[in-house]
Structure 1
């Protein structure tokens, strides 16, 4: 999950520099590239072909993925970076609450306390970044769309954990990732054909294509394969809590690009995030 957080953190700058292309169609292409990368690994599993109970669940999981990435592509041009980073902090708590509703989350005070600590740290990092950019918090249509995307991505590990617990999904993380991404690509691609000017994809530049391939292979295929592996042994709230490291990764990238912008304002948030992740890992070892 530490590797997952690093890859997700690297995906936000990549999305931000892409041209403003149709988000649903772009997401469908990203998922298809991810499926091509996962094909051999998933095909080797004896549980590769889904049965009648798994197929509807894969479709729902695919919609969750499509909802988040479609919202992220669209909101990247309609919301501030600070607002998106702040809203992303809600994902672990949303996953915890949804997981409790599905009966796959352990109800105790420790995990919510760790989630609150990590959320405070991640928010502190987001505010520290905005101080150097003159950014400010706001909530408009872009932020509303991105929050729906956050709700979608919080539901994804919950559905996966529930599917594993009820025997509807196979043990192979590659198979679960392949089919959820594949059906997500199909559904969001059909929606894109209906509501978007798909012809605008022809304006995609060579840089856009390279970034899309990177996002498909590393920020979709690899990250969701890692997420599926972690979901088998962790609860949804614990899995998504590692997203608090995403702004920490952004801070490290900023330090590499522009060391002069890092000051003491980054310290409180960084310490809170590090403490929260350490407590989360200690909790996981104790549970194991």
Structure 2
């Protein structure tokens, strides 16, 4: 079994991941009207520049031939999720999208079972269901305050396909790592999956967006994009890849339940008048679910594999 220290570091890293992702949404809202797919490709490019400082010193900076199909598939998952999200944003409500995103950890658990990187047990699915109820409670609180309603149409269907891509990304990462096909260095895996995903998202943006609008970017927009590229893309995907060495895909994606909770706290800082008891049930369930994950931990990798992954990180 994996030693407890890497498991604790992975869980703490995913807490930091949830904080960074949750705070990125208010920051994205401050950007001007820029083409979103092209903006995502630019963020990924900035993230890769930041990661290169770690990657160029790694002996695995040029992955083996067997790694490329996995890295391309991981990049395609990123492109699929962000492409679906931006398209659906114009055809579905925020409530519908946030409700559907609750399915990602459970989807990851099912996919992980299918490919042998999750164990069949009752505890983890129960925690995931608890977190999902909490996230639905937060979405319901948002709907109650805004007077919105849930529906399922073409936008929701496309976004659900994006959710499948989001769930598949950690499953592919974990399976490729356990099978020895992917580099042990989390920085290298993050760099190449972001680079390939950025190429695919950028190509899609060139086809469907007015890319020239990027030229209207202000200096403030540029600074925010640099922050998002380094903090919300490079660091968050690196934390996810580092956790992949010792945690299963479902446990990793379960931290997504904290994202609306963090965004909710930021909302209260900016608009204290939105503070209401209606947010309490969902918040309590999300915090309880994450607390149970932290308390129980997870033996996600055997000693040899975990040691190899840790060693790869020290080299990378």
Q: TM-score, normalised by structure 2?
A: 0.85
1:142 Cα offset (Å): 2.9
Query: Which position in structure 1 is the counterpart of 2:10?
Result: none
Deviation per residue, 1:129-153 (Å, 9 max, x gap): 2222222222333333322221111
For residues 113-128 of structure 1, what are the structure 2 equivalents within 5 Å? 113-128=126-141
8 Å contact 2:127–2:293 — kept in the other structure? Answer: yes
Moved more, 265-274 or 207-216: 207-216
1:125 Cα offset (Å): 1.0
Choose which of 192, 210, 230 in structure 2 pairs with 1:179.
192
Query: Which position in structure 1 is the counterpart of 2:112?
Result: 99
CA RMSD after TM alignment:
1.9
8 Å contact 1:15–1:76 — kept in the other structure? Answer: no
For residues 96-245 of structure 1, what are the structure 2 equivalents within 5 Å? 96-245=109-258
1:197 Cα offset (Å): 3.0
Q: Does 2:56 correspond to 1:43?
A: yes
* Pair 1:37–1:287, CA change in 2 (3 A): closer
User: C-alpha separation between the residues in 2 aligned to 1:64 and 1:286?
Assistant: 26
Query: Which position in structure 2 is the counterpart of 1:28?
Result: 41
1:157 Cα offset (Å): 0.5
1:36 Cα offset (Å): 0.5
User: C-alpha separation between the residues in 2 aligned to 1:191 and 1:34?
Assistant: 19
Aligned-partner SS, 1:132: helix
User: C-alpha separation between the residues in 2 aligned to 1:286 and 1:47?
Assistant: 26
Unaligned runs of 5+ in 1: none
1:168 Cα offset (Å): 0.5
Deviation per residue, 1:92-114 (Å, 9 max, x gap): 01111111111111111111111
Unaligned runs of 5+ in 2: 1-13, 302-316
8 Å contact 1:161–1:235 — kept in the other structure? Answer: yes
User: C-alpha separation between the residues in 2 aligned to 1:185 and 1:201?
Assistant: 16
